[in-house]
Amino acid sequence: MYFPEEDSYFLAETLKKYLKKITNKNIKILDLGAGTGIQSETCISLGFKNILTADIDKESIKALKQKGFQTKKSNLFSNIKDRFDLIVFNAPYLPENKYDKKLDTTGGKKGYELIIRFLKQARKHLNKNGKILLLFSSYTQPKIIKKKTKELGYKFKKLAGKKLFYEELIIIEIKV
């Protein structure tokens, strides 16, 4: 289970600002790779209630259910059939290395492979005018993610960036 770290708190802070601009509190939200549910908790704190959490980790699923979240065990969208107005994804984004090959942090050999798979699957899970908030790192080769996003027919804009000692965290909004 992925416990909140600097990236989770940065996404929650950005999500809070983003959601404050949305007046319809009934939008359908998917918190993908929910971990302990920090992004869903942010949504709930602002009055949003139509939230589905999903994670691949069974311990995360157990914790999310204990918190009262509607949740599904899913590898990306494997067990998700619905469409959403907003998908929030703090993707595992680090390149694989000999010290860390965990699913909660590693996005593939180069770090971006899981994000590319996500982008390929996400479109059919977005409602008309649906959007995605995606967090990744400068370690994830942002140029490749941006190029692939465009190739898949998405539009994106950078919402926020945060420089850390060793990397930059980047949050983008993606839409069709």
Q: What does the pLDDT read at residue 109? A: 65
- Could you list the mean pLDDT of each consecutive 10-residue stretch along the chain, which spans 176 residues? 79 97 96 95 97 95 96 96 96 62 55 88 96 92 92 96 91 95
28-82 and 92-176 in the same fold: yes
> Where do the domains of the chain lie?
28-82, 92-176
What fold characterizes domain 28-82?
Answer: Rossmann fold (3.40.50)
CA angle 139, 142, 144 (to 5 degrees): 115
CATH (residue range 92-176): 3.40.50.150
CA angle 102, 57, 152 (to 5 degrees): 75
CB-CB contact of 55 with 35 (8 Å)? yes
Whole-angstrom Cα distance, residue 162 to residue 28? 28
Comparing C-alpha atoms, which of 107, 109, 119 is closest to residue 146? 119
CA dihedral of 41, 47, 50, 51, whole degrees rounded to 10 = -10
Q: What does the pLDDT read at residue 101? A: 47
Whole-angstrom Cα distance, residue 103 to residue 65? 20
